[in-house]
Amino acid sequence: MYFAVISIFPEMFATIREFGITGRAVTQKQVTIECINPRDFTSDNYRRIDERPYGGGPGMVMMAEPLSQAIEDARLRASQHGCRVDKAHCPVIYMSPQGQTLSESSVVDMTEYDGMIILCGRYEGIDERLLSQYVDMEISLGDYVLTGGELPAMVLMDSVIRRLPDIMGDDKSAEQDSFVDGLLDCPHYTKPHEFAGMAVPEVLLSGHHANIAKWRFSQQVERTQARRPDLWQAFTPTVEQAKWLKALAKADKK
């Protein structure tokens, strides 16, 4: 999958290009992440990419011209990487507090794209005429205020890359589909057996895989009910999970 990120701070993206699972995906060429700096598309000596807002008010606004040339360059690069460069296959996405809040379901939908061109704002925002001319969708991380769109862009790319096929190894993706979606995670334990006077739940040492799976699922249910009643309300168990829930309810009655 191809990602072009348009940002005045391209160095920030080393965070996902050089570390962890996303870094490995880049090394293995399953993913391409190119950073395009709008400053490279300015024509004045000061390489201006921002100006005072018309109508007055605090802060600066990012100018349309350098960003439009950066987007055109990104489209050319995307097509050179084999992307069908249209809204349906390689959308221009603007990370913005005014956008749709990112969710795991929209992340999964986005894994279908050939690529995406991600626009990162700074200052007070971007000239509206650039947005109306080029942007296909706006995405927010949620209702809190950050200093720019770069971290949100990295969060978006990280979550999409993680859901691409052949990225997370077989076991992980299998776990992904069965019990994880919709419930909080269960507790995890590893060596040493004792820590701060606390041992590990016996069932995890039993080697009895069915009991271990049941215990983990019951922990997920318990934690989701306790910490995220909203998720629990929305949770729709599979046939398999419904059976286990019935068994858990019966066990509780004893």
Ligand X SMILES: O=C(NCc1ccc(CNCc2ncc[nH]2)cc1)c1csc2nc[nH]c(=O)c12
Known binding-site residue numbers for S-adenosyl-L-methionine: 121, 141-146
Q: Which two tokens stand for residue 188?
A: 């995890």
Distance of alpha carbon 181 from alpha carbon 186, whole angstroms: 12
Contacts of 162 (CB under 8 A, 6+ apart): 21, 22, 168
Cα–Cα distance for residue pair 133/253, rounded to 1 Å:
61
Pick out residues in 149-178 that bind ligand X (CB under 6 A).
149, 152
Task: Specify the 3-state DSSP secondary structure of 5.
Answer: strand
Active site residue 38: no
Q: Compare residues 153 and 183 and give the one whose CB is closer to ligand X.
A: 153
Q: Which stretch binds ligand X (CB under 6 A): 2-10, 77-85, 137-145, 213-221?
A: 137-145
Neighbours of 131 (CB within 10 A): 19
Is 142 a residue that touches ligand X (CB under 6 A)?
yes
Closer by beta carbon to ligand X, 126 or else 167: 126
Q: Of residues 44, 177, 194, 230, which has the active-site annotation? A: 177
- Any contact of residue 128 with ligand X (CB under 6 A)? no
Q: Which amino acid is at 19?
A: F
Of the residues 39, 48, 53, 97, which is catalytic? Answer: 97
Q: What is the DSSP letter of 33?
A: E
Closest by alpha carbon to 71, among 82, 87, 57?
87
Q: How far is the CB of 54 from ligand X (least distance, A)?
A: 16
Q: Is 96 in the site for ligand X (CB under 6 A)?
A: yes
Which helix (H) or strand (E) covers residue 207, if one does? none
Q: CB of residue 94 vs ligand X: minimum separation in angstroms?
A: 8
Burial of 117 (0-12, 13-18, 19+ CB in 10 A): buried
Query: Given the complex with ligand X, which of 101 and 178 has the nearer CB atom?
Result: 101
Q: Which is nearer to ligand X, 152 or 183 (CB)?
A: 152
Counting contacts by CB under 6 A, is residue 68 touching ligand X?
Answer: no
Q: Kindly tell me which of 115 and 152 has the beta carbon lying closer to ligand X.
A: 152
Phi, psi of 98, deg, nearest 5: -90, 5
User: Which of residues 40, 51, 109, 124 is near ligand X by CB under 6 A?
Assistant: 124
Q: How many CA atoms lie within 13 A of 176 on its CB side?
A: 17
Q: Active site residue: 18, 51, 104, 124, which one?
A: 124
Where along the sequence are the contacts to ligand X (CB under 6 A)? Answer: 95-97, 121, 124-125, 140-142, 144-146, 148-149, 152
Q: Catalogue the active-site residues.
A: 97, 124, 162, 177
